[in-house]
Structure 1
Amino acid sequence: MSIKFYQSGDRLAEATIANGLIFLAGQVPTNEEADITAQTANVLAQIDSILAACGSDKQHICEAVIYLSDLQDYAGMNQAWDKWVIPGHTPARACVQAALANPQWKVEIKITAVQK
């Protein structure tokens, strides 16, 4: 079995592909000063881009794990999420509160998908 690494660095790859499965690293916002809805939309756009580069899209997501630094942001995160997901193709999902590596990040999302 071959494993492909997308945007691999010294510490991690943005995605790893094995047997048609795509495992994304946790994606974090680049707009650190934004509110939770904008940070979530930013992360989801990054996910779209990485999935496309790996031969997939959001319709092929199997699982999403969402980490929020504050569960009070759950509704605001869902505003962006609900606009982004495709009805009828919503993945299995978990959402938990966690201390994120950068205190300005309000959200981090980890995705597992399949290639088209």
Structure 2
Amino acid sequence: MIQRIDAGHRMSEAVVHNGVAYLAGQIPEDTTQDIEGQTRQVLAEIDALLAKAGSDKTRLLRAEIFLRDMADFAGMNRAWDAWVVPGQAPARATVQAHLADAAWKVEIVVTAAV
């Protein structure tokens, strides 16, 4: 069975299949904030979607982080480090990317066990 969460015409915010939750890239709502604020927003949205999927951040398997500017790496990591559960960090990649909206400083994609 495939469960689609917050499904729209173009995409679902999350899809659960065979005990794994695959989240779409999450972006900040308030783009006036700095990298730490935008990252905290994205992580809060990830928390909410994982809860809808029957999971949480302790069950993260993988994270892919896209930064508009690698100069924001340290600021993003401050927010990430405050959020991730010690000893429960997922496999992770961070890259610089040309994001779809110039105001977005970060986009994060995660996969988690359910």
- Shorter-chain TM range is over 0.9
Counterpart-to-counterpart distance in 2, 1:106 and 1:37: 9
Counterpart-to-counterpart distance in 1, 2:113 and 2:30: 28
Q: Provide the TM-score with structure 1 as the length reference.
A: 0.97
Q: Could you list the per-position Cα deviations for residues 64-87 of structure 1 after superposition, in whole angstroms to 9, with x for gaps in the alignment?
A: 000000000000000100000000
Q: Could you list the per-position Cα deviations for residues 11-45 of structure 1 after superposition, in whole angstroms to 9, with x for gaps in the alignment?
A: 00000000010000000000111000000000000
Q: Aligned AA for 1:56? A: S
CA positional deviation for 1:61? 0.3
User: Identity over the aligned pairs, expressed in percent?
Assistant: 52
Number of residue pairs matched by the alignment? 114
The gaps in structure 1 that reach 5 residues or longer are none
Alignment of 1:1-116 (within 5 A): 2-115=1-114
Q: Secondary structure at the match of 2:108?
A: strand
Runs of 4+ in 1 over 3 A off after TM superposition: none
The gaps in structure 2 that reach 5 residues or longer are none
Q: Secondary structure at the match of 1:16?
A: strand
Q: Could you list the per-position Cα deviations for residues 44-75 of structure 1 after superposition, in whole angstroms to 9, with x for gaps in the alignment?
A: 00000000011000000000000000000000
Q: Aligned AA for 1:73? A: D
Q: Could you list the per-position Cα deviations for residues 67-110 of structure 1 after superposition, in whole angstroms to 9, with x for gaps in the alignment?
A: 00000000000010000000000000000000000000000000
Q: Secondary structure at the match of 1:26?
A: coil
Counterpart-to-counterpart distance in 1, 2:49 and 2:69: 26
Counterpart-to-counterpart distance in 1, 2:35 and 2:44: 14
